[in-house]
Chain A
Amino acid sequence: MKEIRYISAINEAIREEMERDENVFLMGEDVGVPGGSFGVSRGLYDLFGPDRVVDTPISEAAITGLAAGAAACGLRPILEIMFMDFMAVCMDGIVNQIAKMRYMFGSQYAMPIVIRTPSGAGLNAGPQHSQSLEAWFAHVPGLKVVMPGTPYDVKGILKSAIRDDNPVIVVEHKALYALKGEIPEEECLVPIGKAYVKNEGTDVTVVAVSKMVHESLKAAEVLSKEGISVEVIDLLTVSPWDRETVFSSVGKTHRLVVAHEAVKSFGMGAEVSAAVSEEIMDELDAPIMRIGGPFVPIPFSLEKAYLPNADHIITAVKKTMERTF
């Protein structure tokens, strides 16, 4: 094992996959010589050159469509969109083209495209550089959406995404870029569509993604001192999500809290809660609680007031304990 930062784990995954398969290339704004706006691709330009580490103009709509065309013609693009907020500019390419080209054209195409993008608040980047928009993409058939929260997971799932013949949106959290964690020296692949129990518990299940997994683990530690045993599940893949792992945990704890940083309304928490209610309502001993951002843009100065955190999760867990049916 070695200790590595989240940002370097991404870099390693890209490098290893580009070494493995010459059809894999990285494309985006400032990804080449500058090494990426956050430094994710530092060194890759020197290793692979301008043909495979492609600096593009600030033209998100075109480079998204370009990735679609390149994938349809046998390449495996990794497209970096500098901030997830900018994916609003890519929506036709992602929603109408990339997500539909396989199905609409009679499944004649594979669309092996990875779109990597840093999401989330925490750097005082303001309303247009801080959003978590995973629900938009999870709502579109034909896409997969993953939200890794640790160096190990981001490396392993990004490698799986690059090898996947379907389009995968890899949502990185920019506030996790400096996070250190252990990863194995040898090949590590983390499967798409599988959730992981990150802390075993018996009283309440907390399902979280990305940075909220860390907040959930903090909450679990505090709550354990108060005698409440919390099972924390890292969903990891938002679409298609691992119903089996969630249902089996809820079958054990009979209480559920879902936590994400994106606004609560119509978010991933709504989907997970609704599915649990539809499928295993009789397992529940208390109402499901959702934690998410408030329904408001993320302000520059009041960012802390916006961000959901461990305290919110603690409160929600306690509520599910109090509100037993």
Chain B
Amino acid sequence: MRKPGKKMLIQMYEKMVSIRKVEERLMEVFSKGEIPGFLHVCIGQEATPVAVCSWLKDSDYMANTHRGHGHALAKGIDLNLFMAELFGKKDGFCRGRSGSMHLADPSLGILGANGIVGGGIPIATGAAFASDYKKSGQVTVCFFGEGATNEGTFHESLNIASLRKLPIVYVCENNGWAEFTPQTVHMPIRNVADRAKAYNMKASTVSNKILDIHKAAGEAVERARKGEGPTLMEVKSARWHGHYVGDAQKYRPEKDVKSAKQKDCVADFEKKLLKEKILDQTKVEKIGENIDKQIEAAVNFARESPFPVPSELMDDLYV
């Protein structure tokens, strides 16, 4: 298992800051009404997608969830086209048909985020089946929350993946909340990773710190790549905001939000990099400014992109 070098550490830091800043900006434009519909942000959870996707090639597959901006950005989705899709514009990856909840970019193996909790898990398993069938060496990563592990599709898929030794890593971001319901109410166990035992599958549970996640993901991806079978990885993650933007979280004790914010994976990593002199304050500021510029450019691109027109409504439903 190789440890990340200086260049990789900085890249991961940049990616995390970028995801954080993109979503903060999204919350602003969403609140102003520029983006309709629903928006689910992953603020507080940025470490997982960045650490896991740092092990993936463009050709590797990824399936994710409604809280999926971080995963798509970490896998390398183009920020301008990403933003255009969220604005419902024609230049978006899905021609404005998916919005925030169903982003897909097959050219990067981004199979598509899913609006159905647990819906992506068997699809990801199917992608892993396909690469196993073709002996292509591709690995699939499947992101979901702990809430999804109460769905039948989770159990059925893990059973099949373990049976067939499929090249897949199941990544559970356990943020303690299934929409509005805490884990203590919906699950009689605390570690989702315990569920792997039932499927004779390797498992790990790690903190929300990026280097812990990076290590566990590296081992899991390597195992998949070598054809040694799937892994269930659990990250004790933290959701800062509500289920969706605008959710006042009246159901959630304030101290729970406070403790989630204390597990700030971005600030933690920044502190570590500063302490180890991999970054200094000037570099940190410069990284932030560059990202802000990219985000503004993407927002402007999205604003200027045209909406799809009604005459396109019926286009290409069938091949």
Q: A: which residues have CB within 8 A of B?
A: 25, 51, 56-57, 59, 61-75, 92-93, 96-97, 101-110, 141-142, 144, 164-166
9-residue interface stretch from B48-56, B89-97, B259-267 = B89-97
B203 within 8 A of A: no
**Chain B residues whose C-beta falls within 8 Å of the C-beta of A74 in the assembled complex:** 130, 134
Q: Give, as a whole number of angstroms, the nearest-CB distance from A54 to chain B.
A: 8
Q: A62-B125, A65-B153 are in contact. Are A102 and B316 (CB under 8 A)?
A: yes
With beta carbons under 8 angstroms apart, the residue of A72, A96, A110 that contacts B127 is A72
A106 and B92 in contact (CB under 8 A), knowing A62-B160, A65-B122, A93-B122?
yes
Asked if residues B104 and A73 are in contact (CB atoms below 8 Å), the reply is no
A92 vs B120: C-alpha distance when bound (angstroms): 11
Q: From A166, which residue of chain B is reached at the shortest CB distance?
A: B318
Contact at B160–A66, with CB atoms within 8 Å? yes
Flag if B131 contacts A73 (CB, 8 Å): yes
Q: Cβ of A106: which chain B residues have Cβ within 8 Å of it?
A: 92-95, 97-98, 104
Tell me the nearest residue of chain A to B104, going by C-beta.
A105
Fill in one digit per residue for B16-60: 1 if any A CB lies within 8 Å of its CB, else 0: 000000000000000000000000000000000000000000000
State in angstroms the CA–CA spacing of A74 and B129 once bound together.
Answer: 11
- For A25, give the chain B residue with the smallest CB separation: B133
Which residues 94-151 of B sit at the A interface, judged by CB distance below 8 A?
Answer: 94-95, 97-98, 102, 104-106, 111-112, 114-116, 119, 121-131, 133-134
CA distance A56 to B114 in the complex (A): 24
List 15 A–B pairs whose Cβ atoms lie within 8 Å, in order of A's numbering.
Answer: A57-B163, A63-B156, A63-B160, A67-B126, A69-B111, A69-B128, A70-B126, A72-B123, A72-B127, A102-B316, A105-B98, A109-B106, A110-B319, A142-B317, A165-B319
Please name all residues of chain A whose beta carbon is closer than 8 Å to the beta carbon of B116 when the two chains form the complex.
92, 96-97
User: Would you call A65 and B119 a contact (CB within 8 A)?
Assistant: yes
Contact with A along B153-190 (1 / 0, CB 8 A): 10011011001000000000000000000000000000
State how many angstroms separate the Cβ of B262 from the closest Cβ of chain A.
37
Residues of B within 8 A of A142 (CB): 317-318
Q: Given A62-B121, A110-B319, A144-B318, 20 more contacts at CB 8 Å?
A: A57-B159, A59-B152, A59-B160, A62-B153, A65-B153, A66-B125, A66-B160, A69-B124, A69-B126, A92-B119, A93-B119, A97-B119, A102-B319, A104-B97, A104-B102, A105-B94, A105-B102, A107-B315, A107-B316, A141-B317
State in angstroms the CA–CA spacing of A110 and B317 once bound together. Answer: 10
In the assembled complex, the Cα of A75 lies from the Cα of B97 at a distance in Å of: 25
For residue A199, give the distance in angstroms from its CB to the closest CB of chain B: 31
* Residue of A71, A107, A144, A165 with most partner-chain B CB within 10 A: A107
A57's contact among B123, B124, B127, B160, by CB below 8 Å, is which? B160
Q: A61-B156, A62-B153, A70-B130 are in contact. Are A103 and B119 (CB under 8 A)?
A: no
CA of A127 to CA of B126, assembled, Å: 32
List A contacts of B87 (CB < 8 A).
none
